Amino acid sequence: MGFSRRDFLAGAAALLADMPARSLEARISGLSGEASQSGPFGQDTELAAAKSIYLTVDDGPKASMGSILDAAGDAHMLTFFLIGEQMTKGSPGYDMALRALRRGHAIGNHSYSHPFLAKASANKARMEIKQTDDIIASLYNEAGRHNPKLFRFPYRSIGHEGMIRREFGLQIVGWDYDTSDYRSEGRNTGKSMGIIRGAQEHAIVLMHDYPGTATVIRQLGAYGIASQALGPGGAAQYGLNVRHPVPFC
């Protein structure tokens, strides 16, 4: 005996009622290795995270850092290499860095005034590192988090490495892929996204604090890419976070 249209609709309704609903929280935060992004026609496009990278953002805190944090949401953890003079205690930059830490991101030392450290005297380099190191220590303490002690050379101008490691206990962080977003002040988001899509698993990717970085981050989930923050249990296990900058271009 065949099924009537009424029987078919009743059976379909029962089947749908038995299907477990995926929570809104899981869809937003990308739980269980899934990322959610709005597709080209407004529908949700969900892909399993096929690749994990370490996306690092240099030269903040700037006004655009807030939009970068909003774009990352709970789905992506980032590492920000910050300039000390832009986040003195009580400044908007300090509050932004604290917001990043409280949301689970990592921050690292990018010097106090972004000089060419290879050309700086030992005393100048020491002052640049210490002033920012003190600010970052205060931030991690206020956030109640462990400080992974990360450092990146401004302009990849490498100098005083022994002092940086010995006196401050900092891990020097390079990168595996440079998006060169500084050439367009972050406007060439298509180029940056292409480099990230071609990056290897667990690669450290360099970007900068521009509004375009937020645009790129919003697209990661659509390509099955998730970002983790550097630190204990992070890139160290892959031997990546002590490399010098690669490539030099």
What would the pLDDT profile of 27-44 be if each residue is shown by its tens digit? 222 222 333 333 322 223
What's the angle, vertex CA 212, arms to CA 222 and CA 231, rounded to 5? 75
Share of the chain above pLDDT 90, in %: 72
Could you tell me the CA-to-CA distances from 121 to 56, 118, 124 in Å, in that order? Answer: 28, 8, 5
Give me the mean pLDDT over the 7-32 stretch: 34
pLDDT at 48: 52
Q: What is the CA radius of gyration of the chain?
A: 22
Residue 9 confidence (pLDDT): 42
In this prediction the pTM is 0.77
CB 187 within 8 A of CB 215: no
Domain with CATH 3.20.20.370 in the chain: 49-238
Q: What is the model's pLDDT at position 50?
A: 83
Q: Dihedral, CA atoms, 109, 115, 116, 118, nearest 10 degrees?
A: -60
Over residues 186-233, the pLDDT tens digits come to 999 999 999 999 999 999 999 999 999 999 999 999 999 999 999 864
- Beta-carbon contacts of residue 42 (< 8 Å; ≥ 6 apart): none
- Is beta strand 34-38 parallel, antiparallel or unpaired with respect to 171-172? unpaired
Question: Quick check: helix, strand or coil at residue 172?
Answer: strand
Q: Which residue has the higher pLDDT, 150 or 44?
A: 150
- CATH class belonging to 49-238: alpha beta
Phi and psi at residue 132, in whole multiples of 5°?
A: -75, -35
- The pLDDT assigned to 231 comes to 81
What distances in angstroms separate CA 213 from CA 175, 193, 225, one per listed residue?
17, 10, 15
Flag whether pLDDT at 87 surpasses 50. yes
Q: What's the confidence (pLDDT) of residue 36?
A: 31
Residue 33: the pLDDT is 30
Residue 83 phi, psi dihedral angles, 5° rounding: -95, 125
Q: Write down the pLDDT at residue 237.
A: 41
